[in-house]
Each structure stands twice: as structure tokens, then as C-alpha cells.
Structure 1
Amino acid sequence: MDMCSSSAKHPVLLEKTKTEDNEDKSQVKFQENEFIPKLQENTVHSQVIGECSDTRKDLSDAGSSSLPTLQKFLPTNYNSYTKEHYSYAGKNIIIQESIESYGAVVWPGAVALCQYLEQHSTELKLQGATVIEIGAGPGLVSIVASLLGAHVTATDLPDVLGNLQYNIFENTHNCTVHQPEVRELVWGEDLELNFPKSAYYYDFILATDVVYHHYFLDKLLTTMIHLCQPGTVLLWANKFRFSTDYEFLEKFKQIFNTTLLAEFPESTVKIFKATLKWD
């Protein structure tokens, strides 16, 4: 059954609330030509994700009473936008991004993890799994996980949530079993208040290119630890650029059981599977 023809509820209006240790035969090494993003050239802008309904037309046809809904999904007001086209899970995906914000660009780790999720979705048992993405950016990974059948919560900083929610709604409305949720998550802040362990359990935590030259690596690690519970699997894809990236990896391995799942040598992207070490 094509989920794009089924009905789905609009997302709820956002509220601002506060191994490499075990490399083995299962490790996947991709050839250079396999890391080319699945860009779809000459795709008409109005053709949003395969057979999905044209949500902009639906909203405009609904009359003036739908104006608040239309405004709700306007992207963040960047001055310069580009659109990238991808194809995963049998669907065309259009991502609106901007070079004005790190959080509005699709980085190499996101493309790598999307390829891995698509190729290993059955093995990972993504169908029906609860998934949270931290640092979701423009939302490509969350969109792909949702198209593969997961219950997805996409999170990021407040200033990128508008564009994130816009991309997710445009690419998943009437196309997924479970409509993704978009939430604010500031690394290391109010974690138990906003994501209490007693109320939220995630089968998977997804993170792509969250480690680079910034000052919040300790808070990132704290966030990863908080979201993990027994049975939670963390899938982390990252392009390794700086010595601080490798320093974080070593600290990460002290806290998590870590396996290198795949690597893309030409882009220095690695994908890790990790589970929290429990005393």
C-alpha cells in the first residue's frame, strides 16, 4: 500500500519548551562511487516526494481559515535557499537548505547514514521502532527513517526548527505510517524536564555530523547518555576532520560499547553503532 495516498494528521503546532573497537566481517566498506548522493536532476519543484499530495495546494485551497496552518510551516527566514533532491525508500525527497546556517545544510554524514538505513532497514527492524534524531538540521535522516516506518522525533536548536519542520512536513505528509514529531532539544539543558526517562524510551538515537569544531562536545555526550536506556542503539555517522573529533571518539568509546559499521574512505565518514556501558 502506498502510504502517500492515505490520510495523515498535520503535525502539532510547535511549542518552545525548555568500532572501531570491534571491526569484523560485518563492517561495510563502500567504494568511492557509492558515496555519491542520490541527487535527482531536473526534478520539477512542485513534485514533492513521489505521489504525495501537493500540500501547498491543499492549504491554499482551504481558504483564509487555513492561514495559521500555512504560516506554521513557513521555513526559517534565511536570505538564501537552495533545494537538494534525493531518492530514498522509493520516494523523491526535496530538502530546502541554506548556507547561512550549519543547521540548514545536509552534511556528508547524513547522506551516508541514509544510505545505511535504507540498505539495512530490515536488519535494524526500523519498522515501528521509536527513533530520536539529535541535531537533525534540515531533516533528511529523520525523513528517511520515517519513510522506512519508524516513529521519529526530530530535534535541534530553536533557530532551525522552522526549516526542519517545513522539510519534514513537505516530505512525509500523507506518505508515512507515523507522522514525525519536531521538538526543540538544546544539548545538555533540561534533559530530564523535557525528555524524562520515565516517559520516553527510544529504540534508536540517530546523530550525524554532530561532532566538529564547537564548544559543546561535553554537552553532546551528556545528551547521548541521557537518551540511552537498556536496549537503546545509537547510530552515529560523522565526517572526521579535526584532532578534536578523534579525541571525542576516544572519550565516546570509554562510555559506549562501540562498533564500526561502515566507512567511506574518500570522504572520511564513519558510521558507528553504540550501546551505553552499564555498570
Structure 2
Amino acid sequence: MDVCLNSTLQPGHLGEAPRTPGGCLEAEKKESLQKDGTAGLPQDSNKIESSLQSLQKFAPTNYSSYTQENYLYAGKKIVIQESIESYGAVVWPGATALCQYLEEHTEELNLQDAKVLEIGAGPGLVSIVASILGAQVTATDLPDVLGNLQHNILKNTLKCAAHLPDVKELVWGEDLEQNFPKSTFYYDYVLASDVVYHHYFLDKLLTTMAYLCQPGTVLLWANKFRFSTDYEFLDKFKQVFDTTLLAEFPESSVKLFKGILKWD
């Protein structure tokens, strides 16, 4: 898998990142400082951290090295905690491309109060952007990723989004009806970015994509095409979904597709 993390090539990226957590909560901290003076800031920070800890259900994985990366979407600075020690703790090119598309087509997509599920949310950038744009988001990934995912989501959406995103475990192809029963869960959009690369779970991924889509659901899939297996997956995807190429990003080799599940 491509592991080039040159942030200057990422759309929406703000360059050099601070080493302190921020996101939407920075404005709240500054407001407290202006009202109460220097002495009020630690107390306010402690309250914020306590609130985040009480909401966080999953403990972040203890990677030896984290970085803070800044992004700008929907008029908000988004601070993402990343680690190159895990594919699921890095923002990949497909994610920034999908965020750019969501930002530029918000009214067309009608994301306000839309029910959205992200497959393979990783460090959470796409879910955060969709949430800031007004969607009711469920961010999903494997168990070892959920702690960092929820950490980033809480830092960037608490008090900044109409709907606080939910974080859930989703193992592709496993216990789908048990964990996401069709009678209970319906999604207007299913989002996925850079979930297709050289791994052995592509058939389970396609099964999961199809399962989560019901009549009216739109699947948006952005991916950097790296290997022949990526194109093989695309061929299978087209057999299951009516597929439209929405956008291409030549500088990053990312293609963005819209999929509507075919019904017999």
C-alpha cells in the first residue's frame, strides 16, 4: 500500500500541524480565556477533557508515535491524530478527495440530517466532515481502530455538529444482520474511501457494501487505484451496483464513484 504521507499533496490540508489537540474545541477554550483570564483556562480544559473521556467508549491504541495533522473543510479546522503504525490510523488520499466532494456538493447531496454510515472510517476525517455538514453519522471500523477514531471524532465534533457521530465496530462480512438489522438501520448514504487495496477481504467488503444499501441508499466510494486488484474489484462492483464515475483526481490517482444497488 502506498505509504507516502506528504501532507502538502492532500486537498484541504493546512500544512504544519501543532502538537496540541484542537479542532472545534479551540474556539471554546479561547472564549473561556477571554472571559475569565488565564486562570480560567486550565479549569475549562479539564472540564472539556473530562467530558471527552466520559463519552469515549473505546481506548485509543497505544502507538509509540502519533502526529497531529490539520485539515480545513466546511470552514472548520479539523485536527486529526494519526500514526503510521497502522493503515487504519492514517488519512489516505481517497478520504481527502471524498471530503472535498462532500464539501463542494453539500446542497446537491442534501446532507442535512441525512443518515450516513462510513465503512472503514480510519482516523475519522470523512465522518467528521459529513457530521459538520449536518449528517447523522455512524463511523465504523475494526476494533483496534475504534479508540483513535472516537478520539478524533469527539475532539472535532463535540459542540460543533448538530448530531454527535456514533462509533461502531464493523467487521466486513460478519454478523451484519445481527449488528445492523435492516429492519432498524437505514442509511441515505454509505461512504467508503481507500478501503480497496492489496488485502484478502475484498469479497467480504463487497458483500458488506451491498448489505448496507437499501432502496434509496447512495454509496460514494473514493479510492486511489494502485494495483490490478483494485480494477478487478471495480469490475465486480459494477456487477452489483449501477455505477457512475463522479470525479477524478489525477494528482492523487483517486477516482470517486457513485453506486446504486441493482435490484432484481
TM-score (norm 2): 0.86
Distance change (3 Å), C-alpha of 1:215 and 1:180: same
Is the CA contact (8 Å cut-off) linking 1:50 and 1:92 kept in structure 2?
no
Q: Counterpart of 1:10? A: none
Whole-Å separation in 1 of the counterparts to 2:25 and 2:110: 24
Which runs of structure 2 are paired with 1:112-151 in the superposition (5 Å)? 112-151=97-136
Q: Which of 145, 169, 178 is the matching residue for 1:184?
A: 169
Q: Secondary structure at the match of 2:130?
A: helix
- Partner residue in 1 for 2:46: 60
Structure 1 equivalent of residue 14 of structure 2: 40
**Structure 1 gap segments, 5+ residues each:** 1-33
Shift of 1:163: 0.1
1:181 to partner: Cα distance: 0.3
**Structure with greater proportional helix content:** 2
User: Structure 1 residues 56 and 86 mapped into 2: Cα distance closer, same or farther (>3 Å)?
Assistant: farther
Task: Look up the SS of the partner of 1:177 in the other structure.
Answer: coil
**Alignment equivalent of 2:206, drawn from 187, 208, 221:** 221
Residues 141 and 70 of structure 1: is their aligned pair in 2 closer, same or farther, counting only changes over 3 Å? closer
**TM-aligned CA deviation for residue 68 of structure 1:** 6.0
Q: For residue 76 of structure 1, report the CA deviation from its aligned partner.
A: 1.9
1:236 to 208, 221, 225: 221
User: Deviations 1:110-160 (Å, cap 9, x if unpaired)?
Assistant: 000000000001000011100000000000000000000000000000000
> Structure 2 stretches of 5 or more lacking a match?
1-7, 30-40
Q: CA deviation at 1:70?
A: 7.8
Q: Secondary structure at the match of 1:199?
A: coil
Q: What per-residue deviation string (whole Å, max 9, x for no partner) do you get for residues 63-115 of structure 1? A: 9x879628757532111111110011110000001000000000000000000
For residue 261 of structure 1, give the secondary structure of its aligned residue in structure 2.
Answer: strand
- Structure 2 counterpart of 1:147, one-letter code: I
Aligned with 1:94 (options 79, 99, 120): 79
Shift of 1:61: 3.9
Task: Kindly state the Cα deviation for residue 48 of structure 1 after the two structures are TM-superposed.
Answer: 2.4
Equivalent position SS for 1:231: coil
User: Compared with structure 1, are the counterparts of its residues 221 and 52 closer, same or farther at alpha carbon in structure 2 (3 Å cutoff)?
Assistant: farther
* Distance in 1 of aligned mates of 2:104 and 2:48: 39
Measured in 2, the distance between the counterparts of 1:239 and 1:208 equals 8
Equivalent residue, structure 1, for 2:35: none
Q: Alpha-carbon deviation of 1:38?
A: 2.1
Deviation at 1:60, TM superposition (A): 2.2
Q: Distance in 2 between matches of 1:223 and 1:170?
A: 29
Amino acid aligned to 2:235: E
TM-score by length of 1: 0.82
Higher relative contact order (CA 8 A, sep 6+): 1
Is residue 59–residue 66 contact of structure 1 (8 Å, CA) maintained in 2? Answer: no
How many pairs were matched up?
245
